[in-house]
Amino acid sequence: MNPIKLICKLGKALRGGATFRDMFLGIFLGFAIGMIPGVNLTIVFLILLVLFLNATGALAVLSFVLGRILCLVLAPVTFRLGYMMIHDMGLIGLVRSASDTPVVAMMDLHIYCLIGAIPLIIVIGGLMAWFVSRSVVKTRAAIASAAGKSEKAQKVAGNWFVRFIMRIVFGKQKGKLADMDEAKSPLIRKGRVIAAVVLMALLAVAGMIFLDSLVKQGMKKAIAAGYGAEVNIAKADLSLREGRLVIEGLQVTDAAKPTHNLFQAEKIVAEVSIKDLLTRRFVINLIECDAMRMDVKRESPGKVYREKPKAKEEASWIPGDLAGKLGKSAEYYEEIKKFNERLQKLREYLKSDEDEASEPDPDAIAERARALGYLKMSAKDYLAKKPTWVIRHIKVSHIELLPTLPTFVVEGKNISSHPSLLLPEKMTLSAKPDDEALKDFLLKSAGKNGGLLDDIPFGKKDKKSDGKKKESDFLDNLFGK
């Protein structure tokens, strides 16, 4: 809406083109839209109400601007109000049900600032809408009364130049001011209904067009919330018909070393549950990834949302005599062992994070909100009956820790934000040597390492041979058997 048209519409409202109800609805709904954080189904619903009902559009635009400013300025206040309403005033059940219901979950009723904004919308928005609408109606009545009694006012109003200026600034007046003030307007107009239907169709088309972008942002937020550090995704492609998601250029910052990525992958292919996406939950039945790299330096340091302690250096778990015999491959097994320890810490982290979420602490949540942003902080992780994200099966091949060592593989099942909600299904996640890559590596170094190939069992171990006991022991330790 351009400024001139906006002024004309405001002038029309002041001169009698809008009733008290029309102005009240425009101001109240516009303010409500501005106070709602993010982009969600709640905002879409309110916009449709503005179009569907006979609300004053110009006043809705102005009150939206005011509401958006207050939304940003009062974010800490609405966050605290939202926390109190959800956790202290008995709204836990309502928020939990809304978060787990398809489509309804897209209204973002689990966002603290959204719930906390509702009282402010009712009180501030309602009072402002009532005061402005009532003031305009009274002003119009006073102007009409004065104009009817004053011959001078009537003469000025009838001047052709005055009428020309009024027409330019305020638009065409369809009747006398007093008559228009007493006129009644329908609550719903057919033109508005048609506009609302057209908008819904446009939103549906826009949703399909920007679906990949929405999925990309959702994945970044979900992974960042889990790892506590910045996540970058170059491209995300979701096929609703096939339930297939392709992610390219994934980078996850290492919270302990922000200058490097914890891991990065060029391409990941996943089978996604479309039904669960309607509840803003990410349920992935299968993830397949090839060629993942670890500890790669970033172009610029990533943001850290939750600090993690740096890992301590530990002594080698491979016996000294065996390490000398294995040569360079000892480093390979050492790296896989360390990686398995990282995976174990990840499993423990998910469980500990879940324990903290089960009994939310106001100060801890407030600190996390300041890091992530008040307007983004959600109660979903603390109240969900189902995990926010689930990976049913993951298989990653050709993982590279160091360029000088063979690659290895990682496989896991039932990995989620809330492991206990998947019981009795057990979460598993472990790293294992890549037999083919290791064979090639050992063949190249066989001449340097003597009879190494004879001492490293591939596939089944020969438990009858005492000579391979140490090798079997550390391989059993490696695989966690």
Q: Residue 189: left (phi > 0), alpha (psi -120 to 50), or beta?
A: beta
Coil, helix or strand at residue 377: coil
CA dihedral of 449, 453, 455, 458, whole degrees rounded to 10 = 140
- CB-count exposure of residue 72 (10 Å: 0-12, 13-18, 19+): exposed
Q: How far apart are CA 108 and CA 106, in angstroms?
A: 5
Q: Tokens in use for 364?
A: 């801890």
244-254 and 231-239 beta bridge pairing: antiparallel
DSSP 8-class letter at 417: S
Residues 6+ apart with CB under 8 A from 107: 40, 41, 42, 45, 98
Residue 112 confidence (pLDDT): 93
CA dihedral of 434, 228, 302, 314, whole degrees rounded to 10 = -50
408-416 and 389-400 beta bridge pairing: antiparallel
Q: Tokens in use for 297?
A: 């330096």
The pTM for the full model equals 0.62
Q: How far apart are CA 358 and CA 352, in angstroms?
A: 10
Q: How far apart are CA 133 and CA 141, in angstroms?
A: 12
Positive/negative CA dihedral, 269, 272, 277, 283: negative
- Positions of the chain with pLDDT under 50: 165, 168-171, 177-178, 180-182, 311, 313-326, 449-463, 465-472, 474-475, 478-481
Asked if 328 and 445 count as a contact pair (C-beta separation under 8 A), the reply is: yes
Asked if 183 and 173 count as a contact pair (C-beta separation under 8 A), the reply is: no
Q: How far apart are CA 291 and CA 266, in angstroms?
A: 7
How large is the angle between the packed helices 75-83 and 362-372, nearest 10 degrees? 140
Residue 20 confidence (pLDDT): 86
168-176 contacts, C-beta under 8 A, 24 or more apart: 169/7, 169/8, 169/11, 170/7, 170/8, 170/11, 170/12, 170/14, 170/15, 171/8, 171/9, 171/11, 171/12, 171/17, 173/15, 173/16, 173/17, 174/17, 175/16, 176/144
DSSP secondary structure, 139-187, as one string: HHHHHHHHHHH-HHHHHHHH-HHHHHHHHHHH----S-HHHHHH----S
Residue 131 confidence (pLDDT): 92
Q: Tokens in use for 341?
A: 């320890």
Chain-centre distance for alpha carbon 390: 15
